[in-house]
Amino acid sequence: MKGKLLIWLPFAAFAALALLFVAGLLRPDDRLIPSKLVGKPLPDFALPAAASDRPALSSAEFAQGKPRFVNIFASWCVPCAAEAPQIAAMAQAGAPIDGIAIRDARADVDAFLKRHGNPYSRIGLDARSSVQLALGSSGVPETFLIDGQGRILHQHIGDIRADDVPELLKMWRAAQ
Amino acid sequence: MRALVLLFALLLGGAALAQTALPPAPYANRQLDDPALERKATALMQTIRCLTCQSQSIADSNASMAADLRSEIRERIAKGEEPEHIRAWLIERYGDWISYQPTVDAISWPLWAVPVLLLIGGGGLVLARIRRWKGEG
């Protein structure tokens, strides 16, 4: 009797594995890679100015007691143009927003801001994605919320949609 | 005909502009002058996953972010940084996701342990059979 049951053991093991694999295949695909630096201090950086009429951006600008957003964007990035009205709305609501332009050139950034509006206080030029890599950011656009002590509170991956704005502003107010 | 060629030229130009207008970073597609350092850098780049084309290593990818990361890695290695230090720096930011090098940790140890356990179990079975045959013979 015991031997008869034992014969089914390999089959049971196979069925369990098959079930595991099917469950894995049916799980929705998640391609977002969140930064592991959320909750940790902002890495040190100093970037030159990306636009003609905005000052340069360095990590020293954060950690001054007030929470700020930093928006990773690029003039060549289409979703960045799509999220521009939402960024403008957040700035209008009083949230200070800085920008980091990835792999960009000043003339292109100027043209982009002229066309889509300029809600940024400061804009740094990250010509070779080095600050983007240091932040653990995996693409454009992304938006980070930094608290008054220079700690990363939140990372928003992808463009900010209209229904993301209230949630982001709530987080910003809570960080005051 | 000429209009058609012009149209295609414009379309191709648009595709090139869709990503970025900047030239690639200095060491994105250029090897380091010292072959020993280049070997170190290549070995690392082949085990770092591209953030844009998520099934490729940065050594294989044409994405601009992979190019920037290649240049960053080559420049750091040229400055004397150890490859494993750079890998740790990246894992600190992107998690184990970024590295193709297998690790042994709380979640992956069964992968390493199961083959050994199966081998021991199988060996035990065979041994028991052989003993029984000998007993019969």
Where residue B135 falls among pLDDT bands split at 50, 70, 90? confident
Q: What is the 3-state secondary structure (H, E, C) of chain A?
A: CHHHHHHCHHHHHHHHHHHHHHHHHHCCCCCCCCCCCCCCECCCCEECECCCCCCCEEHHHCCCCCCEEEEEECCCCHHHHHHHHHHHHHHHCCCCEEEEEECCCHHHHHHHHHHHCCCCCCEEEECCCHHHHHHCCCCCCEEEEECCCCEEEEEEECCCCHHHHHHHHHHHHHCC
Cβ contacts (< 8 Å) between A136 and chain B: which residues?
92-94
Q: How confident is the model at residue B9 (pLDDT cuts 50, 70, 90)?
A: low
Residue B16 has what pLDDT?
43
**Chain A stretch 70-89, residues whose beta carbon is closer than 8 A to a beta carbon of chain B:** 74, 76, 78
| 3-class DSSP assignment, residue B11 | helix
Cβ <8 Å between B92 and A133: no
In a domain, A68, yes or no: yes
B21 pLDDT more than 90: no
- Compare all CA atoms of chain B with the CA of A10 and give the residue at the minimum distance: B118
Block residue for tokens 């089914």:
A8
**Does the residue B4 lie in any domain?**
no
CATH number of residue B93's parent domain:
1.10.8.640
How many CB atoms are closer than 10 A to CB B80?
7
Nearest chain A residue (CA) to B98: A33
Residues B96 and B119 both lie in one domain: no
Pairing of strands A97-102, A123-126: parallel
- In whole angstroms, give the CA distance from residue B17 to residue B10: 11
Token digits of residue A157: 């991956």
Tokens linked to B52 = 């844009």
Indicate whether A121 belongs to any domain.
yes
Q: Is B58 helix (H, G, I), strand (E, B) or coil?
A: coil
Task: Give tens-digit pLDDT for B57-73.
Answer: 999 999 999 999 999 99
Question: In this structure, are residues A35 and B93 in contact, taking their beta carbons and an 8 Å threshold?
Answer: yes
Q: Answer whether residue B85 is part of any domain.
A: yes
Residue B12's pLDDT is what? 52
**Averaged pLDDT of chain B:** 87
Give the residue numbers spanning the domain of A61.
Answer: 46-174
Is B16 part of any domain? no
Domain count, chain A: 1
Same domain assignment for residues B111 and B131: yes
In a domain, B13, yes or no: no
Domain extent at residue B37: 24-101
For residue A60, pLDDT over 70 is answered with yes
Name residue A144's beta-bridge partners: A70, A155
3-class DSSP assignment, residue B65: helix
For strand A152-157 and strand A142-146, is the pairing parallel, antiparallel, or unpaired? Answer: antiparallel
Look up residue B25 and give its DSSP letter: P
Does the pLDDT at position B19 exceed 60?
Answer: no
Banded model confidence at residue A142, pLDDT cuts 50, 70, 90: very high
Cα–Cα distance, A88 to B112 (Å, whole number) = 52
pLDDT digits (tens, 9 = 90+) for B100-125: 998 888 888 998 999 999 999 999 99
* CB-neighbour burial class of residue B128 (10 A; exposed 0-12, middle 13-18, buried 19+): exposed
Banded model confidence at residue B15, pLDDT cuts 50, 70, 90: very low
**Nearest Cβ partner of A37 from B64, B71, B93?**
B93
Q: Judge whether B47 and B61 are in contact, CB under 8 Å.
A: no
In Å, how far is A138's CA from the nearest CA of chain B? 6
Q: What is the CATH classification number for the domain harbouring A130?
A: 3.40.30.10
Counting the structural domains of chain B, the total is 2
pLDDT given at position B8: 58
pLDDT band of residue B11 (cuts 50, 70, 90) is low
Chain A residue at shortest CA distance from B53:
A31
Q: Kindly indicate the confidence band of residue A29, based on its pLDDT and cuts at 50, 70 and 90.
A: confident
In this prediction, residue A20 has a pLDDT band, given cuts at 50, 70 and 90, of very high
C-alpha A12, offset from chain centre: 44
B80 has a chain A CB within 8 A of its CB: no
List C-alpha distances in Å: A33 to A24, B35, B90, B117: 18, 33, 12, 34
Residues B61 and B94 in one domain: yes
pLDDT at A30: 80
Average pLDDT, integer, range A80-92:
96
pLDDT at B36 over 70: yes
**B70-104 tens-digit pLDDT:** 999 999 999 999 999 999 999 999 999 999 998 88
Q: Residue B35, SS3?
A: helix
Same-domain pairing of B92 and B55: yes
Least confident of A23-37, A128-142, B77-91: A23-37
Q: Is A76 contained in some domain?
A: yes
Angle, alpha carbons B105-B109-B111 (nearest 5°): 135
* Cβ separation B64–A33 shorter than 8 A: no
In a domain, A109, yes or no: yes
Distance from C-alpha of A101 to C-alpha of A120, rounded to nearest angstrom: 11
Q: What percent of chain A has pLDDT over 70?
A: 99
pLDDT in tens, A2-19: 678 888 999 999 999 999
Compute the average pLDDT of residues A136-140: 94
Query: Is B18 part of any domain?
Result: no
Predicted local distance difference test score (pLDDT) of residue A28? 86
Q: How confident is the model at residue B55 (pLDDT cuts 50, 70, 90)?
A: confident
